[in-house]
Amino acid sequence: MNRRPLWATAAAAVVLTMLGAPSAQAEGRGDIRITKTVVDNGTNVIVGVSKPVTFPIKMTVKDNSGVKRVDYVSTFSTHNRSGPVEWVGTTCVKKSKTTSDCTATMRVNPLEMPYISDEDPNRIAGEWQVNATVEANDKDYWISDRIALYHFKRAATLTTNAAPEPVTKGKKLTVKGKLSRASWKDLKYHGYSGQNVTLQFRKAGSASYKSVKTVKTSGSGNLSTTVTASAAGTWRWHFAGTGTTMKVTSAGDSVKIS
What is the pLDDT, as a whole number, of residue 25?
Answer: 60
pLDDT band at 62 (very low <50, low <70, confident <90, very high): very high
How far CA 29 is from CA of 32, 64, 141, 196, in Å, comes to 8, 13, 5, 50
DSSP code at position 81 = S
In this structure, the number of other CB atoms found within 10 A of the CB of residue 27 comes to 11
Quote the CA–CA distance of 86 and 5 in Å, as a whole number. Answer: 8
Domain 25-153 class? mainly beta
> Which are the contacts of 2, defined by CB distance < 8 A and separation ≥ 6?
74, 76, 81, 131, 145
Max CA separation in the chain (angstroms)? 78
Convert the pLDDT of each residue in 137-171 to its tens digit: 999 999 999 999 999 999 999 999 999 999 999 99
Tell me the pTM.
0.87
Name which residue leads in pLDDT, 19 or 105.
Answer: 105
Fold match flag (25-153 vs 156-255): yes
Whether the predicted pLDDT of 13 surpasses 80: no
What does the pLDDT average to over 65-92? 95
CA distance linking residue 254 with residue 203, whole number of Å: 9
Bond from prior residue into 166 cis (ω within 30 degrees of 0): yes
Helix (H, G, I), strand (E, B) or coil at 234: strand
Given a cut of 50, whether residue 16 has pLDDT beyond it is no
Which own/partner contact pairs does 202-210 have at CB distance under 8 Å and 24+ positions apart?
202/233, 202/234, 202/236, 202/252, 203/231, 203/232, 203/233, 204/231, 204/232, 204/233, 204/234, 204/254, 206/233, 209/234, 209/236, 209/238
The three-class DSSP label of residue 211 is strand
Question: What average pLDDT does the chain have?
Answer: 91
Q: What is the pLDDT of residues 174-220, one digit of tens each?
A: 999 999 999 999 999 999 999 999 999 999 999 999 999 999 999 99
Determine the CATH number of domain 156-255: 2.60.40.730
Q: Where are the domains of the chain?
A: 25-153, 156-255
For residue 47, the surrounding DSSP H or E stretch is strand 45-47
pLDDT value of position 118: 81
